């Protein structure tokens, strides 16, 4: 999540405003201490331009599913 945020040029405070939480909560999410809920994952997907599945920890599944579909 931290890499995605940085790639978008956003601060933790920016993300917190999108998620209606505080910066400390975003920090804990990035550290893996807490997980975003499903509503927050949907918002993060939109903000980062990433799939919900990728944000849930299934990047290889998404790549394989997309590749298999077009082969």
Residue 1, H or E segment:
none
Q: pLDDT tens digits, residue range 5-39?
A: 999 999 999 999 999 999 999 999 999 999 999 99
- Ranges of each domain in the chain: 2-70
Architecture of domain 2-70: Orthogonal Bundle (1.10)
Average pLDDT over the chain reads 86
Q: Look up residue 6 and give its two tokens.
A: 């940085």
Alpha helices in the chain (DSSP H): 2-7, 12-19, 23-30, 38-48, 52-55, 59-70
Quote the pLDDT of residue 15. 98
pTM of the predicted protein model: 0.78
Q: Look up residue 70 and give its two tokens.
A: 């077009």
Quote the pLDDT of residue 48. 92
């Amino acid at each position: 999540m931290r890499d995605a945020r940085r790639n978008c040029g956003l601060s933790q405070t920016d993300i917190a405003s999108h998620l209606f939480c505080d910066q400390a909560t975003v920090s804990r999410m990035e550290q893996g201490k807490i997980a975003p809920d499903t509503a927050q994952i949907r918002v993060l997907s939109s903000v980062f331009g990433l799939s919900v599945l990728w944000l849930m920890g299934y990047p290889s599944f998404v790549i394989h599913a997309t590749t298999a579909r077009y082969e």
